[in-house]
Structure 1
Amino acid sequence: MTTALVTGTTAGLGAAFARRLARDRHDLVLVARDGDALRRQAAELHDRHGIEATVLVADLATDEGIEAVERRLADPERPVGLLVNNAGFALRGKFLDAPVADELRMLRVHCEAVLRLTTAAAGTMRRRGRGAVINVASVAAFVPRGTYGASKAWVVQFTEGAARDLAGSGVRLMALCPGFVRTEFHERAGLSTDDIPGWMWLDADRVVDAALRDLGRGRSLSIPDARYKTLIGASKLVPRAALGGVSARAGRRYGPKRAGRPSGDAPERPNDSDPL
């Protein structure tokens, strides 16, 4: 039985990954900021599926939080066979609407934490000759979308490059690029979804199923729906400014301004769907 570590696990895609992996009889290390929510989740998954679910409270916007998860991933006595880097958040509005401090916090969660946790996990996995990492990115990686899209583009490029470097080692890396997923992500981030067509919405459990299938097939990039594969293919032909317009409508603000907050804890915003 493999142990899987999932970040941003208490809601959205992170919770969907935890449910599916528990159903598949993986023991779990659940990582987020809200200790009470994590303990409830761990108890529910243990009672329902009979797996061991341990809790690691960590804020991946802080060096201390990243270090805590690094230590767990690097522990040779308790090997982690699958890492899912899912934690993340969105900011409302256009460039200059959000404080630079919030933009930097996003880069730490989306980029620095992903780099450091992938490094910690992959190093241990390579020594064992097996293991896998899923880094949750977004279709926003392929369209102009400010710091959010840029950080997700970094995740894709980093993951695909690292996957090539580790080819033949027994360690698989894959970037997952979902589109709009029906979770609480947009509401918690204060993003209106009124202009998003119904056909663009995906189910979180189906996204996870597709991701794990693609991982099993050895893919380094997963776009888990034919509609979005077509959209990304069209992005090579359609002017990027036009796609950026769709993205901007998805990020329209409403209500009093709030900054996004990381790690998948209620009432905060996990990386569980993507504002293109």
Structure 2
Amino acid sequence: MPTALITGATSGLGAAFARRLAADGFSLVLVSRDEQRLSESADQLKLRYGVAAEVLAADLATEEGLARVESRVAGGVDLLVNNAGFGHPGRFLEVPVEDEVRMLKVHCEAVLRLTLAALPGMRERDRGAIVNVASVAAFFPRGTYSASKAWVVNFSESAASDVGNPRIKIMALCPGFVRTEFHERASMDVSGIPGFLWLKADDVVRETMRDLALGKRVSVPDLRYKAIVAIGRLVPRGLQARVSSSIGR
């Protein structure tokens, strides 16, 4: 039975990935900071899908937590989903530097180290897949969040090219607004976001798995966001920044 490790697995996209992969017959390794919530999620998945679900409580913003997950990934996984992440409610100059560095630790360093930990085993087995969750924000200039997600996209494409093995897939996932706890946790006001721009987590995961099977290196789920990204590439960067700043992340 293949094994999937998912970071940020107890809510939002992480929980949706866990449900989908359990339904597909994967054994799961669920990673999150909240041990109680992890255990509850694992019990529910075991009961509903009859799969093994291991829990690993760890904070990827700390060296100890990241090293623990890194060690587990190096022990062998068939699918790695680097999903853990968070946002800040304020603009760049309003956020304490230690909070910005913590974001870079989770969004960039953790993705880098866990990807590198997974690849030796995947290359030895000649198969495997890695999904690095970025964001549509990666294509628009908007503070450290979008900058970190742009790094995830570039890194994923570069890693896939360097590995050069179609049986080892590395893909950046770039969703738009998804109905999850993400914005509430970051104390972000999303009341001004039009209803038609919101996506369901399960729909995003379904499109992600399809794009992964097709060998895509960047996945932008939903035609609405594909159009937004395509149009954004035609708009001067200065205008992009002004628009992005006015409407938020």
1:26 equivalenced with 2:26 (yes/no): yes
The equivalent position to 2:213 in structure 1, one of 198, 211, 216, is: 216
1:9 aligns with 2:9: yes
Letter of the aligned partner of 2:20 in structure 1? R
Give the CA deviation at 1:96.
1.3
Correspondence for 2:227: 230
Q: Could you tell me how far 1:237 is from its partner in structure 2?
A: 1.5
Residue 236 of structure 1: CA displacement? 1.6
Percent identical among aligned pairs is: 59
Q: How does 1:256-271 map to 2 (within 5 A)?
A: none
Structure 1: tracts of 5 or more residues without a match: 252-274
Which structure dedicates a bigger proportion of its chain to helix?
2
Equivalent of 1:95 in 92, 105, 117: 92
For residues 196-249 of structure 1, give each alpha carbon's deviation from its aligned partner in whole angstroms, at most 9, with x where no partner exists: 112211111000000000000011110011111111111121233443344334
AA aligned opposite 2:73:
L
1:38-187 aligned at under 5 Å gives the runs 38-75=38-75, 79-168=76-165, 170-187=167-184
The Cα shift of 1:185 comes to: 1.3
* Contact 1:129-1:169 within 8 A present in 2 as well: no
Looking at structure 2, the residues matched to 210 and 122 of structure 1 have their Cα atoms a distance apart, in angstroms, of 24
- Matched residues in 1 for 2:2 and 2:30: separation? 14
Of residues 200, 204, 210 in structure 1, which corresponds to 2:197? 200
Distance 1:209 1:130, change over 3 A: same
CA distance in structure 2 between the partners assigned to 1:250 and 1:105 by the alignment: 24
Task: Confirm or deny: 8 A CA contact 2:157 2:170 kept in the other structure.
Answer: yes
What amino acid is aligned across from residue 40 of structure 2 in structure 1? R
Task: Count how many residue pairs are aligned between Structure 1 and Structure 2.
Answer: 249
Q: What TM-score does the superposition give when structure 2 sets the normalisation length?
A: 0.97
SS in 2 for 1:172: strand
Give me the CA root mean square deviation.
Answer: 1.2
What letter corresponds to residue 154 of structure 2 in structure 1? Answer: Q
Aligned mates of 1:23, 1:54 — CA distance in 2: 16
> Contact between 1:38 and 1:55, CA under 8 Å: does it hold in 2?
yes
> Contact 2:166–2:215 (CA<8 Å) still a contact in 1?
no
Say if 1:3 and 1:28, in contact at 8 Å, map to a contact too. yes
Counterpart CA distance in 1 for 2:154 and 2:25 is 31
